[in-house]
Amino acid sequence: MSNINNYGVDMNKKTLTELSFSAVKELNDEVAGTCSGGRVNIYEGINFQGRGITFSRGDGNLVNNNFNNVTSSIIITGNERWRFYKNANFRGPFITLGPGRYRTLARGVNNSISSLRRLS
């Protein structure tokens, strides 16, 4: 599997044709259009409704963004996995999610995420 983030880092060594082909091959148009090294979008409502916020690395305390314990849906672009924690400072129970669109979150995760970080 190629790694979009690595392509970003190594972009100067590769041709634009190679980059475009890899991105389009592995991601749908919507995701590819917003992908530039991996992002997560979290939303306060299910089905990506309500307020949303985007991170490229993570956040150790979602209180800072007025987003504590409200996340109900998630979109992950790029090739990285992300880890979402029940407590601030990357503590407590967590779930790990790969690229994709998560319209709802499991009971116990929904409205409980307080910090998140990109893995690798």
Site for Ca ion in 39-68 (CB under 5 A): 44
- Min dist. Cβ of residue 50 to Ca ion (A): 7
Q: Is 5 in the site for Ca ion (CB under 5 A)?
A: no
- Distance between CA atoms of 30 and 24, rounded to whole angstroms? 10
Q: Evaluate whether 74 touches 102 at the Cβ level (below 8 Å).
A: yes
Q: Is 112 in the site for Ca ion (CB under 5 A)?
A: yes
Stretch that binds Ca ion, among 34-42, 52-60, 94-102, 105-113 (CB under 5 A): 105-113
Q: What 3-state class would DSSP assign to 102?
A: strand
- Distance between CA atoms of 8 and 3, rounded to whole angstroms? 9
Residue spans of alpha helices (H) in 29-98? 29-34
> For Ca ion, which is the closer residue by CB, 19 or 53?
53
- Min dist. Cβ of residue 39 to Ca ion (A): 20
- Distance between CA atoms of 39 and 54, rounded to whole angstroms? 7
> For Ca ion, which is the closer residue by CB, 20 or 69?
69
Residue of 40, 59, 72, 77 interacting with Ca ion (CB under 5 A): 72
Residue of 73, 79, 114, 115 interacting with Ca ion (CB under 5 A): 114
Pick the closest to residue 74 from 114, 50, 40, 106 (CA basis): 40
Note the residues at the interface with Ca ion (CB under 5 A).
Answer: 44, 69-70, 72, 86, 111-112, 114
